[in-house]
Structure 1
């Protein structure tokens, strides 16, 4: 009842800018892999992928790789590593934003540092081919994952190219800019509720809670993101009802807004992509 609704259009605009910047990153990766696709189709594919925002770590966005295949026959093994690269650079961008706040507020430093180290560990493994091949050879000895090794090896060439250290800079800068837009949106939500939390603290809270949600691997980070966000707000002396309301509003304007936008783009282009049942059938993810 106390929320100033005139903030809402600006909040949603900032969220949309986040999507546009992330589309820029998606398009940048397509060019790195020399995947030919028109800007319009690329945009439709990217926005349709937002329907999978509620999947663990957003890795359901591998849907984009399948939609790309439907349009121009790009092998899924070639384009799917883009989703991994997107998640890696998203986390690097979030860690950069949260790291400044964690250092200043002396809160959450270990989680931010651990996340950053894990990311660079992944990058290092992918960058050293003999090490990667050694890992896949060990995977072949495990019956449960043996059948997936061939697909992993097929995707390796694209993944190692996208996650080379020299190619991380531009996508990470784009990620910092895009996620800071949502941090600003969170700040406006708090301002709309009459809270005096600074933009600096709002950026830390939002980015840190998003990292925690991503690491939890729960669908959309549901539960962990909200708990972290609300908890830190309360620690900063924000009244519990305001903290809960702020968390609910920003999650509605980001996570669920993304799902709605993705659904609109996906279903209004169903003639281009085919039926949803066809998109998610098992064979589509193993070719």
Structure 2
């Protein structure tokens, strides 16, 4: 019988505590209102709407995860699949969110091996990255019209050349990459499974989260178009992911606040929005995930020693 895995509660609580402290200090120094006053705005009708949109994001991506689990001969019921998917969010505060790869290993019976779980995680990240990059596109048009012509054009061209170079390298060496990294080959197989289904689920999921960001911006008095708010959030998410910091903490916040200031927000308002956005899009998931993980661990322990 396999013993149930011990939960890394202390490191996760440490990360949560450090992040909460950093947010509170930043608000106390730069914000126009108290940290408690800012967080209390989450209990408003707008805060509830934003939270519900984020829950929709988790639900849709959970359905996507069930699709790929079924491909690995692990069909899961709706409730069980969503419970295990949400439990994986407990490990989001890890470098590159890599801890979420443990989702498939949480099964009480017949868990995935490390390579299979990593493959599904890789497919998740690639699908998310693709849709987030599409969400970034409206920001290109905004740059061309709101930034100095020469600077904006240079920036867009530079990003275009980098993207083209990456695309060429991927096309040229995709065979070598797939043969060298078996998990990547499995991830590609996941993406080849019903692509229109996972693409639709992923696109709507991130659109819902982008809409949540726009609602929080509007509630804070920032006049910004929904597509631009979603694009700002997408750029911050991609930048945070590339930083390889736990849950993108630090990089995501700096990018998000900077782009909000560029869209006309004061530093205080941008910081306040950033905190609210990260609470509903990140820490809400971590909190729900922790509850789901404790419940899943209890179920696994019961089955193991039955």
Output the TM-score relative to the length of structure 2: 0.73
Which blocks of at least 5 consecutive residues in structure 1 are unaligned? 137-151, 276-287
1:62 paired with 2:90, answer no
Aligned match of 1:12: 51
Aligned match of 1:41: 80
The structural deviation recorded for 1:168 is 4.4
Output the TM-score relative to the length of structure 1: 0.78
Aligned match of 1:25: 64
CA shift digits 1:65-93 (9 cap, x unpaired): 2113x432433323330100000010100
- With over 3 angstroms needed to count, the CA separation of the structure-2 counterparts of 1:45 and 1:74, relative to structure 1, is same
Q: SS in structure 1 opposite 2:254?
A: helix
Aligned match of 1:207: 234
8 Å CA contact 2:88–2:289 kept in 1: the answer is yes
Aligned match of 1:158: 186
Aligned match of 1:242: 269
The structural deviation recorded for 1:163 is 3.7
Q: SS in structure 1 opposite 2:299?
A: helix
8 Å CA contact 2:138–2:228 kept in 1: the answer is no
8 Å CA contact 2:66–2:76 kept in 1: the answer is no
8 Å CA contact 1:37–1:72 kept in 2: the answer is no
Aligned match of 1:93: 131
**Equivalent of residue 292 in structure 2, options 237, 262, 265:** 265
The structural deviation recorded for 1:27 is 1.3
Q: 4+ residue stretches of structure 1 with deviation over 4 A? A: 1-4, 107-126, 166-169
Aligned match of 1:83: 121
RMSD of aligned alpha carbons: 2.8
